[in-house]
Structure 1
Amino acid sequence: MRVIGLAGWSGAGKTTLLTKLIPEFHRRGIMVSTIKHAHHAFDLDTPGKDSWAHRQAGASEVLISSAKRWALLHELRDEPELGLPELLVRLSPVDLVLVEGFKRDPHAKLEVYRADNGKPPLHPDDSSIVAIASDAPFPDAGRLVIGLDDVPAIADCLFAKAQPLGAVLARAKEDL
């Protein structure tokens, strides 16, 4: 399993790019999973449904299963938020894991930069950014810069620069 992230400010187009990259990887026969970091409370469950009632009653985990999919909801209650390494080891094996968010973590990342966003680029202060997908030129970036709409080239870069899971986990352990 290989891991690479997409980092950028809110509004840069990370999710839009991911939704274009996943089908591109599937066309290439590369199985992909994603991890998305949310900075706020979120819910996948609908109030009033049985699984919601199970969580509200205090269940630590609720597994929902159907003929189409299954999902495991884990309530942290007073436990600390899991870091990227703890989340990665919970995934089923695939060829490539695309991580959206966790922009301050040390895994290899592609910066998604959109000039109209009005935010400064991340790559000057982050050595873990291995390439940039941008609608603006960065002639002094010191790393590969790809047009934001060149999905095949971005996919090539992501797969080439993705790190083996073991290396990501070892790096995270070093940073502790």
Structure 2
Amino acid sequence: MTGGGPNPVFGVTGWKNSGKTTMVERLVAELTRRGRRVSTVKHAHHLVDVDQKGRDSWRHREAGAVEVALVGGQRWALMHELRGAEEPGLAEILARLSPCDLVIVEGYKREGHPKLEVRRREAVRHDRLSAVDPTVVAVAADHPQEGETIPVFGLDDIAAIADLIERTVLRSAPGGAR
């Protein structure tokens, strides 16, 4: 499935402290080890700033620039200030990404791409997203999941989860599997 852009999309979702970021990190490492070119999108519900107060690029934004590109020999970043505008939707962000084999999205619980739900005993909430969201195609958990009707993996079964992702979104994507 593709969101707003041409890249296949798979999500990692769950409640606060469920281990979403760790899962994304481990999946990116596994999929890139397999030769996949992977990008990520992380949705945050709080103020985020990738810049440092007082730096030149920060000063450009503070002066009123809508977009600031920071370019160096190892990486570049484009920061876009909303300046009161509405937060862009996932499709708009996906459309801005460069071509890749897969985009892993963390968060965006209510979007329509296929997702892995991560569950931990320590999570803030325990209600099952899979019970109300048909786009949740599997669960990864640190405790038994009796009665679950979709595939369930242990949190450390990264290779099997990566296999599921490849079967779910990469083989059906244009160009097929490698």
Please confirm whether the aligned pair reaches a TM-score higher than 0.5, indicating the same fold: yes
Given the alignment of the two structures, is residue 18 of structure 1 paired with residue 24 of structure 2, yes or no?
Answer: yes
TM-score, normalisation: structure 1: 0.89
Match of 1:130 in 2: 137
Q: Percent identity?
A: 49
Contact map agreement 1:106 1:128 (CA 8 A) in 2: yes
Given the alignment of the two structures, is residue 148 of structure 1 paired with residue 155 of structure 2, yes or no?
Answer: yes
Deviation at 1:159, TM superposition (A): 2.1
Distance 2:119 2:81 in 1: 34
Match of 1:112 in 2: 118
Contact map agreement 2:68 2:79 (CA 8 A) in 1: yes
Match of 1:173 in 2: none
**Aligned-residue RMSD, C-alpha:** 1.6
Deviation at 1:22, TM superposition (A): 1.1
Count of residues paired in the alignment: 166
Task: State the one-letter code of the partner of 2:48.
Answer: F
Match of 1:32 in 2: 38
Unaligned runs of 5+ in 1: 167-176
TM-score, normalisation: structure 2: 0.88
**Deviating 4+ runs (over 4 angstroms):** 163-166
Higher helix proportion (structure 1 or 2): 1
- Once structures 1 and 2 are overlaid, which stretch shifts more, 150-159 or 89-98? 150-159
Contact map agreement 1:113 1:134 (CA 8 A) in 2: yes
Q: How does 1:25-104 map to 2 (within 5 A)?
A: 25-104=31-110
Distance 1:115 1:156 in 2: 25
CA pair 118-72 structure 1, distance change in 2 beyond 3 A: closer
